[in-house]
Amino acid sequence: MSNRASASRYAKALFEVAIAEGGLDQIEQALGSFASLFQANGELRTTLLNPSIPSSAKRGIVSQVMAPLAPPAPLVKVLALLADRDRLELVPALADTYRDRVMEHHRVVQAEIVTADELDETRVAQLQAKLADVTGRTVRLSRRVDPAILGGMVARIGSTVFDGSVATQLAKLRHRLNESM
């Protein structure tokens, strides 16, 4: 079984417990912080992934790292289980999958807007409202500037792309002109 599939199983179980016992958002925050630290700190990652270090020592390290985050009990148990099974490499995928489940539960979708120039906040708010109307969900919007699109914008919501860039329109026009010759 792939790491993503295994992480998905753990995320599903953690999510179901969090729904039943509460702490859904607190778990997301603590797990995301731990996953970021795990990925950013090479020494921590190397230590936790070293098969020669006993699982009890790994549990202790995870507990010490997590203590300042005041993690909910279900998250502590899942991380201890991962340490016992030598599966801490799943933490980043677990955090991503869990965050996706929480966003789905809260009916939130992540969208990215790419424009040739920086947008003012009023325009961003209008785009966010329009995307919320289209998706029927709350939109968490990230922005990026890419002068290569020349003008217009590209919106990505999951795997759906709305491409209204000048560069794409010119490419389509060029293609149609070449076909007609």
Q: Any idea where the domains of the chain sit in the sequence?
A: 3-104, 108-180
Q: What's the CATH code, domain 3-104?
A: 1.10.520.20
- Helix H segments across 53-156? 55-66, 73-84, 91-105, 121-135
Chain segment 110-149, per-residue pLDDT in tens: 889 999 899 899 999 998 898 889 888 988 889 999 998 8
The pLDDT value given to residue 75: 93
**pLDDT number for residue 131:** 87
Quote the pTM value.
0.75
Q: Which residues are CB-neighbours of 61 under 8 A, at least 6 positions away?
A: 44, 47, 48
The list of the chain residues with pLDDT below 50 reads none
Predicted pLDDT at 1: 56
DSSP state of 158: T
